[in-house]
Chain A
Amino acid sequence: MKGDDGYTKFFAFLSLFSFSMFGLVLSTNLFQIYIFWELVGVSSYLLIGYYYTKPSAVAAAKKAFIVTRFADLGFLIGILIIGYYTGTYDFETLNNPEGSAIVNWASSSFMGLSVLTWALILIFMGGAGKSAMFPLHIWLPDAMEGPTPVSALIHAATMVVAGVFLVARLFPMYYFVEDGFALNIVAFVGAFSSLFAAIIAITQTDIKRVLAFSTMSQIGYMMLALGVSGYEGHDGVGYMASMFHLFTHAMFKALLFLCAGSVIHAVHSNYLKDMGGLRKYMPITNITFLIAALAIAGVPPFAGFWSKDEILVAAFEHNKLIYYVGVFVAGLTAFYMFRLYFGIFWGKNTKYEHAPHESPLSMTFPLLVLALLSVVAGFIPFSEFITPDRVGFEAHLNYPLAAVAVTVGLIGIVLAYIFYKKENDLSDKFANGFGVFYKWAYDKFYFDEIYLFVTKKILFKGVAAPIAKFDKKYVDGTMVGIGNTTVATSEKIKGLQSGKVQDYAFAFIAGVVVIALVFIYLWTN
């Protein structure tokens, strides 16, 4: 990136982002978090649009901002409702299980649900927008137009998980208000998003987009973990695991993005078809990518294994359906990640115009640090620090469940190995087997098109254009009409003041005659 136009601007925006993100994390009340929430949104806008002469980057930035802004509308209304009914924005007061906010949740209801449940659902809408949950996910893949470090930092590790953080911040409210109705929504939206994104990720060919969908899928994982969590003691394992996964995911996903950046730097393309056999040219990137892929696939002893295992334990204990979805997604994750790995570093031996070479130390050093973290982060005893009721507990490995998860992950890896290790047409046959479904997934189930239809056709052509026209034609038309009528009327009646005495005399006498006739008529009756 060095030598780019506006190199300093990049660091200024990045610092703005850090400022806002720290502010967000350190907030003690809803309003403060909203302020910083908006600020991280705008830093993300500025950073996605960093290559501002590229129309696709501009469009992506705009899309990201407007979609999250729409979600924030829900967030803001949720804040207003909570502020009005509970009289406080303070997390400490709101989250107190014996506090008035939680005890009096049933005080007022609206359309069959408690108003606080509505507020929590609306706040979750804000979180879902920022965290790219279905159906507000459409901005995240496009956000990859930004510089790769930005994708790694903002759109993989930190900002996108703000939604998870928000739900976790208000977790006691989600859990207690109306027996966790809003929390169930969180769980199902999370589970569905993780499945949905994983399916799309398998089909994409732009490596950054694969990673973007993978991020969405993993955030769905965190959301579903929150959604199935309990509150007290070991029951809160879901909450703990969610935060744990948030933490470990930041390590290996940032690593994956930086590796992808290093690869893109070397081959000057984002597309899988232009890569292959890179292990010979880029040994460090190869190894670090492998570590990250193993971590996200949940292979012990890498970081992802520990956090993912605990999420699955929580899901198993509370909701079997979500557990099965989770296990399936774990398999898919392993598969698409190794599809990427084999596709980039093994597979066909692409002929490169310029022989790709390993990136300089300034780029490989962060890779090595993150790779180390991806290995060891799983050993942090998270359960002793972060639990919903703030009392630590001892977390154990649940061996049968862990074995299932690891087996499923390994199956995914093996399948990817068969399909992509050597150049062959198995994968094409496999894709063809799914027929039209593959095409749908490749086109991201047409959500972009649906949104375009709603915004362009309905809001733009169906609302804004008619309003503008109405304004010109009728509202303004009425005013102009009044003016024209005045002019026309005076045009008509100006003949009355002709200045001719005869005319006046005639009018005078005619008037007298008419009045006389009227009087005579009245008199005779």
Chain B
Amino acid sequence: MDILSLFIVVPVLTILALVFTKGLKQARIVSMIGSFVQLGMAINLVFAYFKEKAINDNIMVFTKDLVWFKQFNIHYNIGVDGISVALLLLTSIVVLAGVFISWKMKDLPKEFFVSLIVLSSGVYGFFISLDLFTMFVFFEIAVIPMYLLIGIWGSGPKEYSAMKLTLMLMGASAVLLVGILGIYFNSNADGGELTFSILEIAKVNIPFEAQKLFFPITFIGFAVIGALFPFHTWSPDGHASAPTAVSMLHAGVLMKLGGYGVFRVAMYLLPEGAMHWSWFFIILAATGVIYGAFSAIKQTDLKYINAYSSVSHLGMVLFALLMLNKTSWNGAILQSLSHGFMTALFFALIGMIYGRTHTRDVTKLGGLLKVIPFISAIYVIAGLASLGLPGFSGFVAEMNIFVGAFEHEDMFYRIATIISVSAIVVTAVYILRVVGIMLMGPVKNPAFLNLEKVTWYEKTGILLLLIPIVGMGVAPLWLSNMILKSLEPFIQGVL
């Protein structure tokens, strides 16, 4: 068994094992073991990648290619570069943290964990696929369990949110499928066979007309899940209704599929289309950055605040990708990772606060720093990380993005950059507003005085997410090197 296929096999085995479990205790132990193995594999993969990269200078390493459906030339084709390795690591950490956070899942624990692991297997598959069709299949595998997870285990208007989320993402998938087929039917432009293989298509010069047509389609198809303005409205409702672990996975990992897909498929395979259209999508992305931040100021539900904050941060990812240069691309990937950890941590903390106080309304909370100091202190740290304080991951990512984006001669890009940079102030406003109202000040509700202390499994979940945030902030260089090396082929496409 090769090192990458294990990323799909282990979740499948975990699911099989879960089927035979009884009750919460067995289900969570099995899920935890499965996720631990995944994390171990991801860490191992990082080291293996560095070792392999030293002797093997291919774009993708650990590749494996099996014909899956001969008639349409669909392959099971997998391989990774630095970007996917980093995102696999992110996924495995967030999944494990999610399992710890759901330690006390009351209703239908077995089914819950099964759906969670199915979702994660889709994400793993997506990140390792090198075949457009396989990638699309994994994309759907990752999206569909969301419907069940929100619809069954959610809260509030869960049916509405689940339906909205699934329909919007399915609509995007339909658009995406058109884009992928468009690429497929142009993959023989230089003669040769029609193919879904990303590496093969990258060598083909797809005619400019086709690129112009299919770039926006593919871009939007992926960017909806990356919360591109104005297609972001599924995300606040979805997050608000989803149970904690699902929000974490969703914002932390699933939304990264958008940025990754945009980069790996739309921009890598259709570089001329990207150059042609970048101005348009930069406007949308920069709008999203500011718009999301301003929307977040006005919200009172913690999850909505965080959801709009995600719109803003992920707008930054798309914005950086569209800047078409190496530094900002590096920043975009780092921002994806950093946002993944940060937002998962936020949702975990929100879940803990909600579990104790039974409200997510900021105006009803107050003085939590006094009653649940550990959770509150971590919330402050997460907030500071989110507003881009040096020493945390967000700063590294944002500085890469800004420096890279500013390298454009053109005034339009400059102005868009300055607009996006100004989001750092608005971010500070909404973060500190929440910290001020919710954590500081006098204790508003006497019932808060005897809240449950933080438990060991909650602490474990928090630390799992906090360590990478600080680690990336203090020592970003190895990660950044891993990513930078993988950006070479993309650069050649654009220049």
B299 closest partner in A (C-beta): A468
B-chain residues with CB within 8 Å of residue A42 when the two chains form the complex: 384, 389
Q: Which of A76-84, A229-237, A392-400, A433-441 contacts B (4 or more CB under 8 A)?
A: A76-84
Provided the pairs A58-B436, A465-B298, A467-B294 are in contact, do residues A52 and B402 lie with their beta carbons within 8 angstroms?
no
For the complex formed, measure the closest distance between the CB of B167 and the CB atoms of chain A, giving whole angstroms: 6
Interface residues in B389-431 (C-beta closer than 8 Å to A): 389-391, 395, 399, 402-403, 406-407, 417-418, 421-422, 424-425, 428-429
Which residues of A in the span 454-488 have a Cβ within 8 Å of any Cβ on B?
460, 463-465, 467-468, 471, 475-476, 478-480, 483
A-B contact pairs, 12 of them (CB 8 A): A38-B389, A59-B436, A65-B432, A66-B425, A77-B418, A80-B403, A83-B403, A84-B406, A463-B294, A464-B295, A471-B291, A479-B234
B257 CB, min distance to chain A CBs, angstroms = 20
- Contact of B424 (CB < 8 Å), options: A73, A464, A476, A479: A73
Contacts of A58 in B (CB 8 A): 436, 440-441
Interface status of A70 (Cβ within 8 A of chain B): yes
6 tightest Cβ-Cβ pairs between the two chains A and B: A468-B298, A35-B390, A476-B233, A52-B440, A464-B297, A58-B440
A residues less than 8 Å from B370 (CB atoms): 53
Tell me which residues from 294 to 349 in chain B have a Cβ below 8 Å from any Cβ of chain A: 294-295, 297-299
Indicate if A357 sits at the interface (CB-CB under 8 A): no
Tell me how far the C-beta of A313 lies from the nearest C-beta in chain B, rounded to whole angstroms: 40
Say whether A62 faces chain B, with CB atoms less than 8 Å apart. Answer: yes
On A, residues with C-beta under 8 Å from B are: 31, 34-36, 38-39, 42, 45, 49, 52-53, 55, 58-59, 61-62, 65-66, 69-70, 72-73, 76-77, 80-81, 83-84, 460, 463-465, 467-468, 471, 475-476, 478-480, 483
Cα–Cα distance between A120 and B230 once the two chains are bound (Å): 37
Q: Indicate which residue in A38, A45, A476, A479 contacts B390 across the interface (CB closer than 8 Å).
A: A38
Which chain B residues border A38 with CB–CB below 8 Å?
Answer: 389-390, 395
- Nearest CB in chain B to that of A5: its residue: B370
Could you tell me if B424 and A69 are in contact, using CB atoms closer than 8 angstroms? Answer: yes
Residues of B close to A70: CB separation below 8 A: 425
The proximity string for B residues 357-397 relative to A, scoring 1 for CB distances below 8 Å and 0 otherwise, is: 00000000001011000000000000010010111000100
Residue in A35, A76, A460, A478 whose CB lies within 8 Å of B421 = A76
> Is A84 a contact of B391 with CB atoms below 8 Å?
no
Q: Would you give the shortest CB distance from A454 to chain B, in whole angstroms?
A: 13
The chain A residue sitting closest to B384, CB to CB, is A42
By a CB distance below 8 angstroms, the chain B residues around A479 are 164, 168, 231, 233-234
B442 contacts the other chain (Cβ, under 8 Å)?
Answer: yes
Q: Taking CB as reference atom, which chain A residue is nearest B160?
A: A480
**Distance in angstroms between the alpha carbons of A480 and B161 in the assembled complex:** 11
Q: How far is the CB of A321 from chain B (nearest CB, A)?
A: 34
B203 at the interface (CB under 8 A from A): no
For residue B453, CB closer than 8 A to chain A, the reply is: no
Q: Assess the B421–A467 pair: CB atoms within 8 A.
A: no
Report which of B164, B389, B428, B429 forms a contact with A39, defined as CB distance below 8 A: B389
Contact A483 B167 (CB under 8 A): yes
Contact with A along B218-241 (1 / 0, CB 8 A): 000000000001111110000000
B25 at the A/B interface (Cβ < 8 Å)? no
* Cross-interface CB contact of A84 among B230, B233, B369, B407, cutoff 8 Å: B407
